[in-house]
Structure 1
Amino acid sequence: MRHMGRRGAVVLGVTGLVAPLTLALGTAPAQAATSCTTQAGPYQKQAEKFLGRPVDGRQSAADCKAIRSFQSTHGITPAIGYAGPVTWNVMNVVQKQRAAGKNPNKAGHCPTNKGRIACVDLTLQLSWIQDGKRLVYGPVPVRTGRDGYETRTGLKKIYWRHLNHVSTLYDVKMPYSQFFDGGQAFHSVGVSMWNQPGSHGCVNMTTTDAKKYWSLLKTGDDVFVYGRKPGT
């Protein structure tokens, strides 16, 4: 998505409602999306363990209900309770996000000598703002670039902010846009942070988190992006 900014630079805005994964991708058995599958998926045991269900590798009505609830909450389609690779990949990342807790920079990947900085961990699909070693806000789940449109890694700076930005190419609203690398920006979206397969490069956030980032960051602040999004 492109926008001609004040400086005349072409800026690629990123978001858009992407088409959900379908049965054609082989992630679930062919059946109506409104029904609950009786088939055990290849990640049945892992899903059962994650959800606190009895781990027996066999699909039960209760298993299906629990898996469907997780899928619905995280925007995974079709939500039919099938423990396929898409569902398990999301569960796996959620587990790692929970483990990160309130110390997302435990490994020290995001610089602590830059003052206030927004960090983006592509591997964990998390972002936060820190000041030195002090956590200022987050971590919060984010939705980054899908395969072929990866959010670019490295140290960057916020160079332009536009509160009510709209992509002129796709006519898509991008509220609270804070651009840090060409057309890649933090901004809010109206879809789940787990809506597959991801953005076209921007770091998507919930409205609440995008508003907070808008209030905490300013032009010239550093942004550090690292890691690799699962599936890219």
Structure 2
Amino acid sequence: MARFSMNRRGRTVAYTMAGTVLAPLLAGLGAAPAQAASGSWCGGARGPYQKQAEKFLGRKADGKQSQGDCRAIRAFQVSHAIHPQYGYAGPVTWKMMKVVKPQRDARNNPNRAGRCPTNRGRIACVDLTRQISWIQDGRHLVKRPVPVRTGRNGNETRTGLHRIFWKHKNHVSSLYHVSMPYSQFFDGGEAFHAISGSVWSAPGSHGCVNMRTADAKAYWKLLSTGDDVFVYGRKPGT
């Protein structure tokens, strides 16, 4: 049973419960975040986009939350910095899946529409619409598309044909005072470079093409001063 007392404002408040009820409840609430962080726990709730999430993840799309579904959704949330990370297929998770789907679909043939030039030799292509970049040499795909984060509204990454004119591996922005590892500048202060946060996070960069560290390292090795960069499309929301 609960026991009651009067607080200083004269309100009746419960201050204890039988240990058989309160202790397991507190233990469960305390354990959940730790278990979630380790990947051993899932919320188990069925979200409004359960079936869509299952289909996106290649699981049985029956709209019923299983432990396997929950863990798969949670893994997606962890890899894309979505919080909370409890395997719940809510609107934020589904919105991110819709962003990632065209990036994933472009994997083997990102230049299917022929928007990026194929007559300039090695060139880094940046599609603002799909928020992806890849490297090709003629029609040969040198580096498969990777997700990028381009300029936010008001600081859009400039479109058109550019050329890498300076590389600085350990660059620090003199304007924003932030680290820009593996910087490769192609238009004024705009550059390919790594960031420590998520490339899927809003609202976007100040014009640079932000990349995951592994992708920025790969671009650093594959591109040289003088190589072309072609930026086209329009980032959603700009």
TM-score by length of 2: 0.72
Q: Which residue of 1 aligns with 2:172?
A: 166
1:75-114 to 2 correspondence within 5 Å?
75-114=81-120
Q: Which has the higher contact order (CA 8 A, sep 6+)?
A: 1
Specify whether residues 133 and 43 from structure 1 end up closer, same or farther in structure 2 by C-alpha distance, changes over 3 A only: same
Larger Rg over CA atoms = 2
Q: Which residue of 2 aligns with 1:133?
A: 139
Q: Report the residue type matching 1:193 in the other structure.
A: V
Q: Which residue of 2 aligns with 1:151?
A: 157
Runs of 5+ unmatched residues, structure 2? 1-29, 37-41
Q: Which residue of 2 aligns with 1:222?
A: 228
Specify whether residues 42 and 152 from structure 1 end up closer, same or farther in structure 2 by C-alpha distance, changes over 3 A only: farther
Shift of 1:122: 1.9
Shift of 1:59: 4.7
Q: Which residue of 1 aligns with 2:189?
A: 183
Q: Which residue of 1 aligns with 2:129?
A: 123
Per the alignment, in what secondary structure is the counterpart of residue 212 of structure 1? helix
8 Å contact kept, 1:116–1:221: yes
Decide which moves more: 74-83 or 109-118: 74-83
Specify whether residues 101 and 184 from structure 1 end up closer, same or farther in structure 2 by C-alpha distance, changes over 3 A only: same
Q: Which residue of 2 aligns with 1:206?
A: 212
8 Å contact kept, 2:185–2:192: yes
Q: Which residue of 1 aligns with 2:25?
A: none
Give runs of ≥4 in structure 1 deviating > 6 Å.
Answer: none
TM-score by length of 1: 0.74
**Percent of matched pairs sharing the same residue:** 70
Aligned residues: 202
- Measure the CA separation in 2 of the matches of 1:197 and 1:79: 21
Per the alignment, in what secondary structure is the counterpart of residue 199 of structure 2? coil
- Measure the CA separation in 1 of the matches of 2:207 and 2:229: 15
More helix by share: 2
- Measure the CA separation in 1 of the matches of 2:120 and 2:174: 34
Shift of 1:56: 4.2
